[in-house]
Amino acid sequence: MKTRVYAPTDNNLRRLAAALRRGELVALPTETVYGLAANALDARACRRIFTAKRRPANDPLIVHVTDLRAAEALAEVNDVARVLARTFWPGPLTLVLPKKKVVPGIVTSGQRTVAVRSPAHRLARKILQLAHVPLAAPSANPFGYVSPTTAAHVLQGLEGRIPHVLDGGPCDVGVESTIVDVSKPRRLVILRPGAISAADVRAALAQVGRRVRVVSRRRKLPTMSGAAIAPGMLEQHYSPRTPLELRARVTRAEAADVKTGCIFWRTPKTKSANAIALTRNGDIAEAARNLYAVLRRMDRAGFAKLVCERAPKSAGPLGQAINDRLTRAAARR
């Protein structure tokens, strides 16, 4: 299969929307990472996502929609979910809700809930509007590998396996959406951290007089053989092929070892050919945007192993999201 890359012209957007309606796959940018999109109401098209990514059937897909009204056609949306959607959509927040029968079982891995979000990226929204169908779209990369934040990243993993890639430039946020289980509206669970924090969720609900318990998932994450309630929750995920170890600080001995690739939180004082930083001066948003590009670059550099500094505790919700991804990327195979 030949993979074609498209510039974001009006004609190309219409062409890609028509391809999605025909059941074809299109890799496209969102504000978080590039997604591999298919018509979420077409089980055969969604099956092609699993095949192209070599994704196990126990890992469900996020469904992207234009707005709250479109989400209500797919899921049983409660009042708490409506508040969150009106506050944070379009944006990097995914809501897990009881699904309606219209959603194929392959999208939800046979579970009774579906994960939905409304992306903020201009091109993703335009494609949704032109296609007139919801789009299932996990990250556009081989399953378990580092997520893509540019069209070039998509080609590194899926060239020859998918027909279409829309090049929308680098992603703005750089890490996947926050996922919140809202299926039981009196007790919300943050299943995956992202740019929107538990505190943000509480504050949004408090604004309308709702005091809802919001907790973070603390149970052991499912393994490769276990079923997941939402995407991206497996214990080992987002992983480079080079073994990765995490540190509070990279040691001098590691920095001096040319066989070890060193990823610093911020630019070190001493420059070295085996070192790179997530951010120049500690900017959290910059570190999140750079995270996956840095992991990919170091993975392709031929090091025997990688060591990476964690985000500091003061880094806020994006720092928590970065550390979540790094912890899974470093999980033993």
| 179-198 pLDDT per residue, tens | 999 999 999 999 999 999 99
Residue 247 has pLDDT above 90, yes or no: yes
Res 231: pLDDT: 76
**Sequence-ordered list of residues with C-beta below 8 angstroms from that of 330, at least 6 positions apart, any chain:** 239, 244, 245, 246, 308
Q: Which CATH class for the 4-216 domain?
A: alpha beta
Mean pLDDT of 27-39: 98
Which residue type sits at 235? E
Res 224: pLDDT: 46
pLDDT in tens, 195-242: 999 999 999 999 888 778 888 875 554 554 455 777 767 788 899 999
Q: How confident is the model at residue 269 (pLDDT cuts 50, 70, 90)?
A: confident
Domain boundaries, the chain: 4-216, 244-329
